[in-house]
Amino acid sequence: MRIISYNVNGIRAAVKKGFIDWLKTNPADVICLQEIKANKEDFPEAEIKAAGYDTFSFSAQKKGYSGVAVLTKIKPSKVTNGNGLMQSDAEGRVIRADFGKLTLINAYFPSGTSGEERQTYKYQWLAEFFDYIGTLRKTQPKLIVCGDYNICHKAIDIHDPVRNKNYTGFLPDERAWMDKWFENGFVDTFRHFNKEPHQYTWWSQFAGARANNKGWRIDYINVSDALKKSLKHAEIMPHVMHSDHCPVFLELAL
């Protein structure tokens, strides 16, 4: 199974930049999108279907904000919108797709960039999500949790760890949450295969950050330890450019 996670920063904007043509190249079997910024009636479902993918989307109540989607060539046995937490579900942050005994969670973690109130909510969301996944693992041990985590885990994952140490996305408490996440039985699939620096998934749209590769690695496909032996290949795809993020890729030998 080939899986991609991709924050498209607005699906309609991505379509204008060639997203559908890219889909037609068959980049993966399952593609998880974050920040679709579109209600169901605005989502380009027909175009995506014509490119070979069935679509399951979960939008935020607020128009043009957040939202997640799963595009898949493999029929899921079940799809669930949300994780049962009121504010998270109102913001369209989590969608679950089951493929038999395999459970895929596609999540768009909150950002704290707009101020203290949202940073406080980010910490609340992280705590709630950790508990949600912990409960889920008791019945679904084979878990894939992908998405835009909005957190760089280590200094190697950010172009300037010293100057960014007090910025949301690289704060000590956020990084400590990631430590706890991986210590509790999850594998960072990209780092499982690739230990090299200067590997990023998001770049600021200012000052030529992408051209100069001054980025942050904040997008992940993580798997529970029960799937560690199935890991075959993982990579970041910076050459794919429909967004200020790029896709991340995982191949599992199931």
- Nearest in space to 229 (alpha carbons), one of 194, 195, 253: 253
Tens digits of per-residue pLDDT, 174-205?
999 999 999 999 999 999 999 999 999 999 99
Q: Give the pair of three-digit tokens for residue 98.
A: 């089951």
148 in catalytic set: yes
Q: What is the token pair recorded at 103?
A: 């459970």
Q: How far apart are CA 75 and CA 100, in angstroms?
A: 10
The tally of CA atoms less than 13 A away on the side-chain side of residue 222 is: 22
Helix (H) or strand (E) holding 9: none
Residue 252: which H helix or E strand, with range?
strand 248-252
Listed in sequence order, the DSSP H helices in 58-210 are 86-90, 116-139, 172-183, 189-193
List, in sequence order, every beta strand (DSSP E) within 126-247.
Answer: 143-148, 186-188, 202-203, 215-216, 219-224, 231-236
Is the distance from CB of 223 to CB of 237 less than 8 angstroms? no
The confidence score (pLDDT) of residue 78 equals: 98
- Distance from C-alpha of 59 to C-alpha of 34, rounded to nearest angstrom: 10
User: How far is 179 from 157, CA to CA, in rounded Å?
Assistant: 14
Average pLDDT score over the chain: 97
CATH of the domain at 54: 3.60.10.10
Phi, psi of 156 (to 5 degrees): -65, -20
pLDDT level of residue 253 (50, 70, 90 thresholds)? very high
- Structural tokens at position 92: 């369209």
**What band does 19 get if pLDDT is binned at 50, 70 and 90?**
very high
> Rounded CA gap, 233 and 192, in Å?
9
Which helix (H) or strand (E) segment holds residue 105: the answer is strand 102-108
Q: Which of 148, 157, 188, 219 is catalytic?
A: 148
Residue 84 has pLDDT above 90, yes or no: yes
- Residue 236 — pLDDT band, cuts 50, 70, 90? very high
Give how many domains the chain has, as a whole number: 1
User: pLDDT tens, 109-161?
Assistant: 999 998 899 999 999 999 999 999 999 999 999 999 999 999 999 999 999 99
Q: What is the DSSP letter of 110?
A: P
Which residue segment(s) compose the domain that 44 sits in?
Answer: 2-252
pTM, entire model: 0.98
Q: Residue 234's pLDDT is what?
A: 98
Which residue would you say has higher pLDDT here, 3 or 114?
3
Paired with 252 in beta bridges are: 231
pLDDT value, residue 114: 87
Contact 66, 91 (CB under 8 A): yes
**C-alpha to C-alpha distance for 67 and 247, rounded to whole angstroms:** 17
